[in-house]
Structure 1
Amino acid sequence: MPMRWDAFLTAVQDRGDYASPHEAERASRVVLGLLGAHLVGDVRAELAARLPETFSLVLLNPLQAHEPLPPERFIRATAAWIEGATERTATWDVSAVLSVVADCAGEDLMRRILLQLPPGYDVLFGHPQLT
C-alpha cells in the first residue's frame, strides 16, 4: 500500500524542518527525480509502488544521470536543482526525503536499493547499519 501524499509530505516537512509543505514537496521532487535516475528494474518499480502516486511518477520519469553519482555529487546535483540551495542545505534536503523513502521501502527493499547505488548512500537514507 503506497504511503499517502499528505503523510509523506508531513514526514518530509518534519524531518527537514521546512516552513511549509511546498518546501517539502520541492525537495521531494528534486531528490526523487535524481534518485530515479540511479535505480533500475524491479527495485525502482517496487519503490515507486510504495510512494504517493505523484512522487512515484517523478521516480519513474527521472532527471537523466549519465553515470551513478557518488553521494557527494548527488548532493551537489540536488543543490543545483533547488533555487538558492547550498551543499549544506541540499544535504539536509536529501536526508529528509531519503529517510522518509527508507521508511516507505522497508528493510528488504532498502538493501536492494543500496546495492544499486555507489557506496555511502546508506548514510543519506539514515540506515548506515544496512551495509
Structure 2
Amino acid sequence: MNEGVNLWQFRDTSGHTAGTDLIGFHVEAVDGHVGKIDKHSEEVGSQYLVVDTGPWIFGRLVLLPAGTVIRIEIGEQKIYVDRTKDDIRNSPTMGANETDLGPDFRDRYALYYSPFYGGRVM
C-alpha cells in the first residue's frame, strides 16, 4: 500500500518530465494493457491521464490520477500504473464530452481511489 500518495501529482520516482507529450502512449495496469493516452493534464495539483480503453471496455474513456503512475518508459511509449484492470474498469464513468474537470469531478475520483492508498491521499 502506498500511503500518503498525492493522487494529482506524478510521483518523483515515475520518470515524468514536465512538458513531455504523453498522448498516444500505451497504459499498462499491473495485470495487462488498458489503452492509450487520449489527453493529459500537467496543471500543478491537477495532473491526470485520460485513457481511451478501445474495445477493452467498449471504448470508454477513463481518468487516471497522475499518482497512480509508477513508471514512464519514454523509449517504449508506455506508462505503468499501480492499479489492476478491474480497478480501472470499476472507476467512475467519464463521458466522451466531459470538459469540466474541476474540483467536484476530481473529488469523485479521489473518493474512488483513496481506499487503494490506505485512505490517505493528498
Q: Which has the higher strand share?
A: 2
**Fold match (TM-score > 0.5):** no
* TM, length-normalised to structure 1: 0.28
* TM-score normalised by L of structure 2: 0.29
